Amino acid sequence: MTDKNHDLSIRKQCELLDLNRSTLFYQPKPMSEFNLDLMDNIDKLYIDHPFLGSRRMSVMLSRADIRANRKRVQRLMRIMGIQAVFPKRNLSVSAKTDKKYPYLLKGLKIDHPNQVWSTDITYIRIGGGYAYLVAVIDWFSRKVLSWRLSSTMDTSFCLEALNEALVLYGNPEIFNTDQGSQFTSEEFTWTLEQRKIRISHDSKGRAFDNIFIERLWRTVKYEDIYIKHYETMNETRAGLNKFFKFYNNERPHQNLWNLTPDEVYGKVKVAIKAA
């Protein structure tokens, strides 16, 4: 698709092809096997106990006979995007110059598709390295509207996921994110504002303001990532594509009257149009 020997630079070729350079070639991070295994254990503990900071994480690891001092745990949690100060995944610190928005979902009754969308980023292990996964979901139906995989935590792969969801499904009334720099950036917020979509940001220190996508990450990891042990970026992308199709089309949700996200999203949309 791209040609290193072409007169145009790889950057320009990616721009013309609308590709994210960070996902074009995947280079595993230079990380020891011990640290990668430790990150796996941290990830599994954090998925189940998102309130754990580095101190209690170190204690929990030691109780499982996994020896790692707190400094190492702190460093690895930073790489993974888990910030010890706050009881939630905070995959990047927002820039002081970025505009912040209030949390709009407190007490809000979510009763139809495209009322509220949200997004988040999570760390995943890939072979001898790791990558980051972003997804956009519809709160009412739990439908995964779009997703992207990247070897770096930049804004571009988050924007790609957002733009795909907007093209495929139209505009939500409210878009909720955490205060990570990818989501508070001018490019990301401008995309929402120019479509007149109301922006909502999680409160700092609130683990479950973005509860539905937190649950999605737990499902993805326990039902796919931890089982499959993907070795390459391409293998991971293909596997996740298959899983998200299953999640949307075939996997019933108890909280959705044992319907699938696609069934709830489609049926309610049709009912609203007919009313």
The domain that contains 134 carries what CATH number?
3.30.420.10
Range of the domain at 267: 116-274
Looking at the structure, tell me whether residues 132 and 51 fall in a common domain: no
Question: How far is 158 from 213, CA to CA, in rounded Å?
Answer: 15
What is the 8-class DSSP label of residue 259? B
Residue 141 and residue 74 share a domain:
no
Q: What confidence score (pLDDT) does residue 221 get?
A: 95
The predicted pLDDT at position 87 comes to 39
Per the listing, tokens 């998200």 go with 244
* 155 and 269 part of one domain: yes
Is there a single domain that holds both residue 63 and residue 132? no
What pLDDT score was predicted for residue 116?
97
Rg of the chain on CA atoms, in Å: 19
% of the chain beyond a pLDDT of 90: 50
pLDDT at 2: 44
Closest CA to 155 of 185, 182, 133, 132: 182
235-244: average pLDDT: 98
- Residue 60: inside a domain: yes
142 pLDDT band (50/70/90 cuts)? very high
Q: Which of 82-86, 205-209, 248-252, 254-258 has the highest mean pLDDT?
A: 248-252
Q: Domain count of the chain?
A: 2
Does one domain contain both 32 and 161?
A: no
Residue with more model confidence, 206 or 204: 204
2 inside domain: no
Q: Are residues 60 and 140 in the same domain?
A: no
Mean pLDDT for the chain overall: 83
In-domain check, residue 138:
yes
Domain closes at, from 56, 80, 104: 80
Same domain, 236 and 151: yes
Q: Which of 28, 94, 90, 40 is nearest to 66 (CA)?
A: 40
Which of 222, 267, 224, 214 is closest to 244 using CA atoms? 224
The model's confidence at residue 131, banded by pLDDT at 50, 70 and 90, is very high
The distance in angstroms from the start CA to the end CA of the chain is 47
145 CA to centre of own chain: 12
**Domain shared by 15 and 72, yes or no:** yes
User: What DSSP state is assigned to residue 32?
Assistant: -
Provide the whole-model pTM: 0.78
Give the residue from 35, 53, 80 where a domain finishes.
Answer: 80
Task: Say if residue 58 is in the same domain as residue 129.
Answer: no
* pLDDT tens per residue, range 16-54: 545 555 555 545 456 788 889 899 988 898 888 877 888
Domain edge (last residue) among 59, 80, 101: 80
